């Protein structure tokens, strides 16, 4: 009887060991490298060590989509495992050195979703090093990422002084420095508030200026709204466009200001744009020292 029990124990141990060996591998054949398949093969409650061991071989793949799937899964994993964020921001920031513009762009977009406290020191170093990559087609985005986490200020200044940046990269560099508290960059950014009339450029510019998390810039926008609000009562096409633009600016600002009273998912349905501008003006007058959330991109 004891012999039989021993055999059963040994057999169970063997099966368990074999199962672990199977589980430790992921099918990385070309048709199995999608994000959907990774989700099926790796559980979110797996240890980070196991996850990285299973996914690392895919990063040696020559197929960009495979690598992008890995980085996206790691981001998803970190949302369900807070203690893994330090290591995963480091892991994703390694992707900034990829030769693929698509992979680099993916990693930048994922990194922008993290809060400032989620970055490891190595991740910050990687982003700083990313500023020094030559002929980098993603340089403008890496500059803004560096400005967000507060690294590479001297490198960004050197890039500006090199006279090698295109207009988009130059503006990004100034906005990043403004976010890091540079007064000269703030003055430059304030001049940008009214510069562009082209709608496509204006939208991107507004997003960039709001990225700075600078109270002087936010107040400039609020002053513009206050100045022009009363002149927008006549509902011609020009005024309607301007009114919609101001409301769009407030929408973007509301996501950056802590305890901002308007929640746009519901507010748009209840009140007219004119009432929104009136409400915001009253609130800003009562809360001139509003707090800006600098912990997010």
In angstroms, the CA 58 to CA 103 distance is 13
For residue 69, the model assigns a pLDDT of 96
Burial class for 276, CB neighbours closer than 10 Å (0-12, 13-18, 19+): buried
In angstroms, the CA 170 to CA 122 distance is 26
- pLDDT above 60 for 28: no
% of the chain at pLDDT higher than 90? 66
Residue in the structure block whose two tokens are 């698509």: 102
pLDDT digits (tens, 9 = 90+) for 192-211: 987 765 666 788 889 999 99
- pLDDT above 50 for 13: no
For residue 3, the model assigns a pLDDT of 41
Higher pLDDT, residue 133 or 242: 133
The answer to whether the beta carbons of residues 126 and 96 sit under 8 Å apart is yes
Task: Tell me which residue of 231, 239, 234, 226 sits closest to 278, measured CA to CA.
Answer: 226
For residue 10, the model assigns a pLDDT of 36
Mean pLDDT of 274-292: 91
Higher pLDDT, residue 261 or 15: 261
Higher pLDDT, residue 204 or 257: 257
pLDDT digits (tens, 9 = 90+) for 87-120: 999 999 999 999 999 999 999 999 999 999 999 9
87: Cβ contacts below 8 Å, ≥ 6 apart: 48, 120
pLDDT class of 243 with cuts at 50, 70, 90: confident
222: Cβ contacts below 8 Å, ≥ 6 apart: 280, 281, 284
């Amino acid at each position: 009887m004891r012999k039989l029990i021993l055999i059963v124990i040994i057999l169970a141990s063997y099966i368990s060991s074999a199962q672990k060996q199977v589980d430790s591998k992921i099918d990385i054949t070309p048709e199995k490298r999608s994000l959907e398949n990774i989700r099926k093969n790796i559980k979110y409650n797996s240890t980070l060590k196991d996850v990285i061991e299973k996914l690392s071989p895919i990063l040696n793949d020559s197929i960009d989509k495979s690598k992008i799937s890995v980085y996206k899964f790691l981001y998803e994993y970190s949302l369900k495992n807070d203690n893994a964020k330090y290591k995963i921001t480091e892991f994703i920031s390694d992707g900034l050195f990829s030769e693929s513009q698509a992979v680099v762009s993916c990693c930048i977009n994922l990194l922008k979703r993290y809060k400032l406290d989620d970055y490891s020191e190595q991740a910050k170093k990687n982003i700083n090093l990313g500023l020094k990559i030559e002929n980098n087609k993603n340089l403008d985005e890496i500059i803004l990422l560096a400005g967000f986490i507060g690294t590479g200020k001297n490198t960004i200044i050197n890039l500006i002084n090199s006279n090698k940046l295109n207009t988009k990269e130059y503006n990004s560099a100034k906005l990043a420095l403004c976010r890091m508290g540079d007064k000269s960059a703030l003055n430059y950014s304030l001049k940008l508030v009214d510069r562009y009339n082209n709608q496509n450029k204006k939208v991107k510019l507004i997003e960039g200026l709001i990225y700075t998390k600078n109270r002087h810039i936010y107040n400039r926008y609020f002053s513009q709204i206050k100045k022009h609000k009363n002149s927008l009562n006549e509902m011609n096409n020009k005024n309607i466009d301007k009114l919609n633009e101001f409301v769009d600016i407030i929408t973007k600002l509301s996501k950056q200001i802590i305890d901002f009273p308007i929640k746009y998912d519901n507010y748009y349905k209840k009140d007219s744009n004119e009432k929104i501008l009136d409400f915001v003006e009253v609130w800003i007058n009562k809360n001139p020292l509003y707090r800006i959330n600098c912990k997010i991109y």
